[in-house]
Chain A
Amino acid sequence: MKLLRKNIEKLNLFLENYPKIGIYFPQFLIILLLGIIISYFSMNASTNMAARGIETGFGFLANKASFDIQFSLIDFDSNDSYARAYLVGLLNTLLVSGIGIFFATVIGFFVGITRLSTNILASKVAEAYIEIFRNIPLLLQIFFWYFAVLRLLPSSDNSLILFNFVFANIKGIYIPRFIWENLNYFLYGFLFSILIIYLFVSISKKKQEKTGLQVPTFTTSLIIFFTINFLVIYFGQVGLTLSYPVLETNRGLHNYMGGVSVIPELIALAFSLSLYTSTFIAECVRAGILGIDKGQKEAAASIGLSKAQILKLIVIPQALRIIIPPVTNQYLNLTKNSSLAAAIAYPDIVLVFAGTALMQTGKAIEIVSITMLTYLTLSVSISIFMNWYNKKNSIAER
């Protein structure tokens, strides 16, 4: 014991005399340790892979995948390569995330604002919504909608039919496919109306700067939009026919053919992701609005701005600055959470690539790394965006 203490004292004295050792030694140690761990792991990996007769490397990506994917946005069959399967999975991940982000934002803003309502009943209902959906694990919610609710839908031959337009059954939800006539006219007309509105808005803004004249831009834009589009549809003879899904019976099996089908996995996943994430977004929105100092509204009122103007010119611009960074973070979380798709067999990147492809090729290291790297790329690019956004705002304000 005494010897030890003496040695420690000696060591301390030594370190005081050579302060650089205190800086370099721990760093050197970390590098050494990392090196040992990595080389140990890779040594094991290479022996294990050799024993199992699996080659390492990314060459397999060009090989034939020889499996089918139930749902994909681009053409895919079993003759396509693993690389294309990866792309299908990635697109499916992005699809469900995109849908989820859209609805989560809409619901989240709505609930967050309702939470601040002066109507106590409305505010309490919003609070109950938030507490319920954020405190139940997401996976459980996905299972609930998928296994308990969507599975209660009837079988194909007696589908639930809404307005003779939506056909819901256990195999999915079917809507008619749109078949357009002279669609190009409509698209040109649509773009044209947007252009006109853009010009109108910028001209009236300039006019306001010059003369102070205020034009009701929103109402006028709506009028322009509808007039132009109506005229184009009427004179351009733009037609829309619906190709309805038709119930076909094939060897006793009933199935809807034609139309557009949405698989139940996608519905359950998008639905749960939206509800779950919307609770977090609602809290961000609430915090953002509460985060604005009361004095801001008072000062705005004291210079004669009306309630609507205060909201438009003072509250919303400031609230958005507080809200956008945490909401972006929630978008990222939603995208990462969409990986739970694998649990209900929605063919996202994890299921297709880290699931099926890995099972077939056995290339654990390559495939898991590619999957992780994909998510990491998304995360890093979003955090780069957020840093840029925060920096931009903090320069403007400070």
Chain B
Amino acid sequence: MSKIIELKDVNKWFGDFQVLKDINLTVSSKEKIVICGPSGSGKSTLIRCINRLEEHQKGDIVVDGMTLDANTKNIEKIRSEVGMVFQQFNLFPHLSILDNCTLAPIWVKKKSKKEAEELANQYLEKVQIVDQAKKFPGQLSGGQQQRAAIARALCMEPNIMLFDEPTSALDPEMIKEVLDVMVDLAKGGMTMCVVTHEMGFAKEVADRVIFMDEGSIVEEKPTDQFFNNPENERTKLFLSQILN
């Protein structure tokens, strides 16, 4: 399998505070990894660096053959190949769900409106909210909004999907509907990096689980071994807290 994301000795500081310390990570095409860890451990920053919503200061990040650094001219191109789903959904409140989905295909990929709408309907169908297409984000439940956000990202037909705690802002009864969509997506063969505390989801779909603490990767193992045989004390403590 080919490498699609490669991070080498990545370091990042917010002022004097170091959020990422010598991160090394490779993700192969079609691989699904789950990143977990206590809050403030730098896991969100890590995946935000992958589509350069945050700039790293030291080290190399290569995504789909393109190196991310200050000289990168077309960040937009990389971003259009990397989909991202946020904790707070971040749907555009002034546009309908359909327009949220067609916006980027029209303006970035220069598709015609009709084409873009067909595409959007196809993905809205996939996340099962095609009947809500004409509504505005504020009229939808949290779970529906997050599924719409996933559809919006998918409309750019990305090679990689990043999820930044996609279920943390949801009411318990809505978590499942979003996770189901994500499981579906994983089965379809998408490359996925997911920051989440949903260990059930990790067990079901992840190839590898990464545990981060205080800015470094503490433990990185195939899913089975991670849950059955964690080595690091901090991982054990974290797992015991989150699983009970």
Contacts and interface: CB of A to CB of B under 8 A. Distances in A.
A and B together in one complex: yes
B138 A299 contact: no
A302 B139 contact: no
A303 B156 contact: yes
B201 interface: no
Interface in B112-148: 112-116, 136-139
B152 interface: yes
Contacts of B94: 317-318, 321, 396-397
A208 B115 CA distance: 11
Nearest to A396: B136
Contact of A304 (B53, B136, B138, B156): B156
Contacts of B109: 212
A210 B118 CA distance: 12
Contact of B138 (A210, A214, A295, A398): A398
B55 to A, nearest CB: 12
Interface in B156-173: 156
B104 A296 contact: no
B51 interface: yes
A117 interface: no
Interface in A10-56: none
A293 B90 contact: yes
Nearest to A300: B92
A301 B79 contact: yes
A302 B51 contact: yes
A132 interface: no
Contact of B104 (A304, A321, A396, A397): A304
A9 interface: no
B3 interface: no
Interface hub of A208, A212, A314, A317 (most chain B Cβ within 10 A): A212
A295 B88 contact: yes
Contacts of A78: none
A208 B107 CA distance: 10
Interface hub of B75, B93, B111, B116 (most chain A Cβ within 10 A): B93
Given A212-B115, A295-B88, A397-B138, A304 B79 contact: yes
A314 B83 CA distance: 18
Contacts of B137: 397
Contacts of A299: 84, 86, 90-92, 149
A209 B114 contact: yes
Interface in B57-100: 75-77, 79-80, 82-84, 86, 88, 90-94
Nearest to A296: B90
Given A210-B112, A212-B111, A304 B76 contact: yes
B76 A208 contact: no
B112 A212 contact: yes
A313 interface: yes
Contact of A302 (B79, B106, B138): B79
A305 B108 contact: yes
B76 A398 contact: no
A208 B105 CA distance: 12
B8 interface: no
B153 interface: yes
B103 interface: yes
A308 to B, nearest CB: 10
B79 A298 contact: no
Interface string A386-398: 0000000000111
A398 B86 contact: no
Interface hub of A301, A303, A309 (most chain B Cβ within 10 A): A303
A306 to B, nearest CB: 5
A301 B54 CA distance: 11
B110 interface: yes
B112 A209 contact: yes
B112 A303 contact: no
Contacts of A211: 112
Nearest to A312: B107
B51 to A, nearest CB: 6
Contact of B108 (A209, A213, A295, A304): A304
B41 to A, nearest CB: 20
Interface string A254-290: 0000000000000000000000000000000000000
Nearest to A321: B94
A305 B104 contact: yes
Contacts of A210: 112-114
A309 B108 CA distance: 9
Contacts of A304: 76-77, 79-80, 104, 108, 156
A321 B108 CA distance: 25
Nearest to B152: A303
Contacts of A314: 92
B110 A214 contact: yes
B187 to A, nearest CB: 24
12 contacts: A209-B114, A211-B112, A212-B110, A295-B90, A299-B84, A301-B79, A302-B82, A304-B76, A304-B79, A309-B108, A321-B94, A398-B136
Given A209-B112, A305-B76, 6 more contacts: A214-B107, A293-B88, A302-B84, A303-B79, A321-B94, A397-B93
Interface of B: 51, 53, 75-77, 79-80, 82-84, 86, 88, 90-94, 103-104, 106-116, 136-139, 149, 152-153, 155-156
